[in-house]
């Protein structure tokens, strides 16, 4: 079975500080993609960052970066210089390369950025 676990239901951070959201996963697939999605109060799902499992280099997208540890099956998201607009639910997701439909989402982490 394919699983994605986000162990932090809620987190908070002061504006301009850095926060890390954790995600661990389990899959029998050899190649897969990992994603972080942001869901603000509007409930729209917005792609934040993606990582191909075959790439060792950690993905970076402006203030967002990941720490991908393939052997440990860990995929954490670091948000630097947190902004009030980062307040949202964050979902970690895994999609195997062989089956684009078999995607699995974590339970989500609610992040609150405080002024």
Partner 1 sequence: EPEVTQTPSHQVTQMGQEVILRCVPISNHLYFYWYRQILGQKVEFLVSFYNNEISEKSEIFDDQFSVERPDGSNFTLKIRSTKLEDSAMYFCASSERTEAFFGQGTRLTVV
Taking the complex as a whole, the smallest distance from the CB of residue 102 to partner 1 amounts, in Å, to: 6
Beta carbon nearer to partner 1, 66 or 82: 66
Among 38, 45, 43, 50, which residue's Cα sits nearest to residue 113? 38
Backbone angles phi, psi at 83, to 5 degrees: -120, 155
Among 10, 86, 84, 92, which residue's Cα sits nearest to residue 50? 92
Nearby residues of 95 by Cβ (< 8 Å), 6 or more positions away: 32, 33, 34, 35, 102, 103, 104
Beta carbon nearer to partner 1, 21 or 93: 93
7 binds partner 1 per the rule CB under 8 A: no
Beta carbon nearer to partner 1, 12 or 98: 98
Residue list 10-69, contact with partner 1 (CB under 8 A): 33, 35, 37, 42-47, 50
Footprint of partner 1 on this chain (CB under 8 A)? 33, 35, 37, 42-47, 50, 91, 93, 95, 97, 99-108
């Amino acid at each position: 079975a394919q699983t994605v676990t986000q162990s932090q239901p809620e987190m908070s951070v002061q504006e301009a500080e850095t926060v890390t959201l954790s995600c661990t996963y389990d899959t029998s697939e050899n190649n897969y993609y990992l994603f972080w999605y942001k869901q603000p109060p509007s409930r729209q799902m917005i792609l934040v960052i993606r990582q191909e499992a075959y790439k060792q280099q950690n993905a970076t997208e402006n203030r967002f970066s990941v720490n991908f540890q393939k052997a440990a099956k860990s995929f954490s998201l670091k948000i630097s210089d947190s902004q009030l607009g980062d307040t949202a639910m964050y979902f970690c997701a895994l999609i195997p390369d062989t089956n684009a439909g078999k995607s699995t989402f974590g339970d989500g982490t609610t992040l609150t950025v405080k002024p």
